């Protein structure tokens, strides 16, 4: 196995025969490194990102803003080049043979790529023409996709008037016009209303069940990865920190999250010592006045936790118990919460 | 050829865009007319300067206004590309099998068509005003062709800069800095031997002047075909350089996205 960094691999949960993996991998990223800008302004977007997605499955890259998901997609779709590392799509090197890769893939990038001055049908038609389609076959394909994505009525209206959800569906329709083997969807549902998102999930799930299509999905919603992906790679600061099926990832997180709000900022070590003796309480972390821990049974752990803190004179304002969330999965593997990661990103941006 | 087909698809896209904006068509058609009438009225008495060889200033001015129109239409040609970049359209094309050259040439063909139409309007107005264009139909065609050559060069340049700058403000600043000075450092409005000597020397190296000189000679009674061919040759060379620059700019752009 060439990927070493993932914890699940190390723990031996899922090891496939390497021969089968080589044949089946439709997307392979190995040690991708990409730095934007120069010298003191340099931002390392990818720091050795590796994963592989098998043919005919949905593979999700899950991570907060700034994790490097879009950068990975841009490299895999030939938009930009890696500084280091190698990427293969359908067995073809994306740097050496970008033209060949482009014919194999469909891409929906983050944001939209819709030409808002053209109609939905014109957008689709041009997209097909660029892949060498023409005539009746192209017209029929365009109509079929417009129908399938619920755009038939709006097909001949200028896309400027489309809603966000309609533009997104048109993006996906365009990415499918040439019936690509591999599909890249970069945060396809970010910014959509919840109902529209659910609708989009159905569409993507339907795509995946189409024979032999491999889908790479990036997202920062755990539910989305959970619902759609056969395998998920958690990306943090340009690296894959964990990989597995959604079930595997969640089972690593057995137990509840316990959130305690302290009256005063506390020292991590002191709190950890206080809680260490309590059976079933793990992964204690303190950040200022926020204390986080994991417990086999949150409800039962709370009294002991409160008691232990009180014994050390640490005053508690509130306690909350929650089922595992995206934050917890992320915290477990990245060592900080999703919010922290996202706010770090915004600070860097400023 | 794939490049030709892709350029054609892109041209259709841009022309369709223009046709959907009636007020923009109006601006495109009216602007050269305004320039012709404005400069015509402003410099009307230039013909009285001793040594000025033409009796009809509009006839003298028409090639200059045609070139100026071509220059300005093309100089701003990178703005819609920045729109495309901001809307993700360019990135969508770049991950498709489209030829990079077609992404530029489609825009250039489109702006060349616009320039041709604007030029015809100017020629017709000048004829109404009494211009003779002794060089005849062929001369007029050559005049419009050199204007288009110049326009295509600056169009390619503007598109290349758009890919590098990716900000409208930057492109506006550069073009403001370049377009007007180039126009006035030429014989567009004044016979070259009547402008200050240093300007005459600068004008010899100014592509805008190459187009003006060649165009004006082509429509004159005695076209200097040697001069026309050399200036047209310079413009072709310039166009090739600008096209190479614009195509390379895609590479720089892709490295930075
Ligand atoms: N074109 C770019 N120029 C400079 N920095 C960039 C560019 N694209 C991404 N970055 C930076 O690289 C990091 C990863 O970004 P990105 O791949 O977009 O993450 P994600 O898609 O996971 O939100 C971020 O810090 C981001 O600011
Ligand atoms: Mg992204």
Instruction: Determine the pLDDT at residue B41.
Output: 86
Scored b (16 or more CB within 10 A) or e, B6-17 reads bbebbbbbbeee
Searching chain B, which residue's CA lies closest to the CA of residue A110? B88
Between A and B, how many CB-CB pairs are < 8 A?
Answer: 68
CA distance B133 to B220: 6
Q: Which of A148, A77, A140, A88 is nearest to A113 (CA)?
A: A77
With residue A54 as reference, give the H or E element that holds it: strand A43-54
Q: Is the pLDDT of residue A78 over 80?
A: yes
Whether the Cβ atoms of residue A261 and residue A317 lie closer than 8 Å to each other: yes
Strands A84-89 and A92-93: antiparallel
CB contact under 8 A, B9 and A115: no
Residue A63 CB less than 6 A away from ligand 1? yes
pLDDT bucket at A347, cuts 50 / 70 / 90: low
Q: What separation in Å is there between the alpha carbon of A72 and the centre of ligand 1? A: 10
Q: pTM (2 decimals)?
A: 0.84
> Tens digit of pLDDT for each residue in A217-227?
999 888 888 88
Rounded to the nearest 5°, which phi and psi values hold at B23? -70, -30
Q: Which residues surround ligand 2, an ion (CB under 5 A)?
A: A 69-70, 110
Instruction: Determine the pLDDT at residue A8.
Output: 34
**pLDDT (average), residues B165-169:** 94
> Tens digit of pLDDT for each residue in B202-229?
999 999 999 999 999 999 999 999 999 9
> Tens digit of pLDDT for each residue in A105-119?
999 999 899 999 999
Q: Is the pLDDT of residue B67 over 50?
A: yes
Length of chain B: 257
For residue B93, count CB atoms less than 10 angstroms from its CB and return exposed for 0-12, middle for 13-18, buried for 19 or more: buried
pLDDT bucket at B163, cuts 50 / 70 / 90: very high
Q: What separation in Å is there between the alpha carbon of B185 and the centre of ligand 1? A: 45
Distance from CA of A71 to the nearest CA of B (A): 8
Going by the DSSP 8-state scheme, the letter that residue A65 receives in this structure is T
- Pair of tokens at residue A223: 């539910």
With residue A314 as reference, give the H or E element that holds it: none
Q: What separation in Å is there between the alpha carbon of A68 and the centre of ligand 2? A: 7
Q: Which of B7, B61, B71 is nearest to B34 (CA)?
A: B61
Q: Which residues on neighbouring strands pair with residue A321, listed in sequence order?
A: A258
Q: Which of A67, A63, A84 is nearest to A221 (CA)?
A: A63
Query: Of all protein residues, whose CA lies closest to atom 2 belonging to ligand 1?
Result: B257
pLDDT bucket at A153, cuts 50 / 70 / 90: very high
Q: Which of B227, B236, B156, B157 is nearest to B187 (CA)?
A: B227
Q: What separation in Å is there between the alpha carbon of A209 and the centre of ligand 2? A: 25
- Pair of tokens at residue A86: 């190698």
- Residues 66-95 in A contacting B (C-alpha not used; CB under 8 Å): 74, 77-81
CB contact under 8 A, B92 and A107: yes
Residue A65 CB less than 6 A away from ligand 1? yes
Q: A2 vs B249, which has greater pLDDT?
A: B249
User: Whose atoms come closest to the Cα of A67: which ligand?
Assistant: 1
- Residue A245 at interface with chain B, using a CB cutoff of 8 Å: no
Q: B36 vs B9, which has greater pLDDT?
A: B9
Return the number of other C-beta atoms located less than 10 Å from residue B31's C-beta: 15
- Pair of tokens at residue B57: 């200033």
| Distance in Å from the first CA to the final CA of chain A | 40
Q: Which of A246, A155, A247, A169 is nearest to A201 (CA)?
A: A169
Q: What separation in Å is there between the alpha carbon of A217 and the centre of ligand 1? A: 17
Strands A182-186 and A105-108: parallel
Lowest mean pLDDT among A304-308, B7-11, B135-139: A304-308
Kindly give, in sequence order, each residue whose CB lies less than 8 Å from that of residue A303, ignoring residues fewer than 6 positions away. Answer: none
Q: Is the pLDDT of residue A342 over 70?
A: no
Whether the Cβ atoms of residue B254 and residue A81 lie closer than 8 Å to each other: yes
Q: Is the pLDDT of residue A4 over 60?
A: no
In testing the pocket of ligand 1, which one of A48, A67, A71 has its CB within 8 Å of the most ligand atoms?
Answer: A71
What is the dihedral angle through the alpha carbons of A16, A6, A33, A234, rounded to the nearest 10 degrees? 100
> Which residues in chain B are closer than 8 Å to A159, comparing Cβ atoms?
none
> Tens digit of pLDDT for each residue in A264-292?
888 888 888 888 888 888 888 888 889 98
Whether the Cβ atoms of residue B19 and residue B25 lie closer than 8 Å to each other: yes
Report the SS3 class of residue A88. Answer: strand
CA distance A91 to A101: 9
ipTM field:
0.90
Q: Which of A118, A125, A116, A162 is nearest to A145 (CA)?
A: A125
Q: Is the pLDDT of residue B189 over 50?
A: yes
pLDDT averaged over every residue in chain A: 86
User: Whose atoms come closest to the Cα of A109: which ligand?
Assistant: 2
CB contact under 8 A, B97 and A102: yes
| Distance in Å from the first CA to the final CA of chain B | 29
Find the CB nearest B13 among A105, A112, A126: A126
Q: Which of B206, B201, B231 is nearest to B217 (CA)?
A: B231
- Pair of tokens at residue A44: 């390392």
- Pair of tokens at residue A197: 């998102």
Percent residues over pLDDT 90 in chain B: 80
How far are the Cα atoms of A51, A54, A130, A144, A209 from residue A212, in angstroms, in the given order? 19, 10, 23, 20, 8
Distance from CA of B92 to the nearest CA of A (A): 6
> Tens digit of pLDDT for each residue in B124-139?
999 998 888 999 999 9
- Residue B92 at interface with chain A, using a CB cutoff of 8 Å: yes
Q: A340 vs A248, which has greater pLDDT?
A: A248
């Amino acid at each position: 196995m060439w990927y070493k960094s993932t914890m699940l691999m190390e723990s031996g949960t899922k090891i496939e025969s390497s021969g089968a993996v080589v044949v089946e991998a439709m997307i392979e990223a190995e040690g991708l490194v990409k730095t934007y800008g120069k010298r003191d302004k340099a931002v390392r977007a990818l720091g050795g990102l590796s994963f592989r997605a098998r043919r005919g499955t949905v593979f999700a890259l899950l991570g907060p803003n700034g994790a490097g998901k879009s950068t990975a997609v841009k490299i895999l779709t030939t938009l930009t080049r890696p500084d280091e590392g190698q990427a293969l799509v359908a067995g073809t090197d994306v740097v050496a043979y970008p033209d060949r890769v482009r014919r194999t893939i469909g891409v929906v990038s983050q944001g939209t790529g819709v030409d808002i001055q053209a109609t939905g049908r014109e957008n689709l038609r041009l997209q097909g023409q660029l892949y060498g389609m023409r005539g009746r076959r192209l017209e029929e394909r365009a109509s079929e996709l417009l129908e399938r994505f619920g755009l038939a009525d709006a097909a001949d209206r200028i896309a400027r008037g489309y809603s966000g959800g309609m533009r997104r569906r048109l993006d996906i329709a365009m990415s499918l016009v040439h019936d690509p083997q591999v599909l890249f969807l970069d945060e396809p549902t970010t910014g959509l209303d919840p109902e529209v998102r659910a609708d989009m999930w159905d569409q993507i799930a339907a795509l995946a069940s189409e024979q032999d299509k491999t889908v790479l999905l990036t997202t920062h919603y755990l539910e989305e990865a959970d619902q759609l992906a056969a395998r998920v790679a958690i990306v943090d600061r340009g690296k894959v920190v964990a990989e597995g099926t959604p079930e595997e990832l969640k089972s690593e997180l057995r137990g509840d999250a316990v959130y305690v709000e302290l009256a005063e900022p506390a020292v991590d070590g002191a709190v950890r010592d206080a809680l260490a003796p309590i059976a079933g309480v793990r992964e204690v972390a303190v950040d200022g006045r926020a204390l986080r821990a994991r417990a086999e049974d949150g409800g039962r752990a709370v009294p002991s936790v409160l008691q232990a803190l009180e014994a050390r004179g640490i005053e508690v304002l509130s306690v909350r118990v929650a089922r595992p969330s995206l934050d917890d999965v992320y915290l477990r593997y990245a060592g900080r919460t999703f919010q922290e990661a996202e706010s770090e990103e915004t600070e860097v941006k400023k | 050829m794939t490049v030709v087909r892709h350029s054609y698809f892109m041209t259709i896209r841009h022309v369709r865009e223009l046709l959907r904006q009636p007020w923009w068509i109006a601006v495109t058609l009216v602007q050269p007319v305004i320039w012709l009438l404005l400069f015509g009225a402003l410099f009307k008495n230039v013909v009285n300067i001793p040594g000025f060889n033409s009796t009809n200033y509009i006839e003298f001015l028409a090639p200059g206004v045609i070139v100026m129109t071509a220059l300005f239409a093309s100089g701003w040609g990178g703005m819609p590309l920045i729109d495309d970049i901001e809307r993700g359209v360019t990135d969508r094309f770049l991950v498709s099998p489209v030829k990079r050259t077609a992404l530029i040439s489609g825009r250039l063909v489109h702006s060349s068509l616009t320039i041709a139409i604007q030029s015809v309007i100017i020629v017709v107005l000048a004829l109404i005003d009494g211009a003779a264009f002794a060089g005849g139909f062929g001369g007029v065609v050559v005049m419009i062709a050199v204007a288009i050559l110049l326009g295509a060069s600056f169009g390619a340049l503007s598109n290349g800069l758009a890919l590098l700058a990716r900000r409208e403000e930057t492109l506006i600043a550069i073009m403001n800095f370049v377009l007007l000075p180039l126009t006035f450092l030429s014989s567009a409005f004044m016979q070259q031997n009547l402008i200050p000597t240093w300007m005459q020397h600068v004008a010899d190296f100014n592509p805008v002047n190459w187009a003006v000189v060649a165009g004006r000679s082509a429509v004159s009674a005695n076209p200097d075909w040697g001069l026309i061919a050399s200036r047209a040759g310079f413009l072709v060379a310039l166009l090739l350089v600008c096209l190479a620059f614009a195509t390379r700019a895609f590479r720089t752009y892709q490295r930075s996205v």
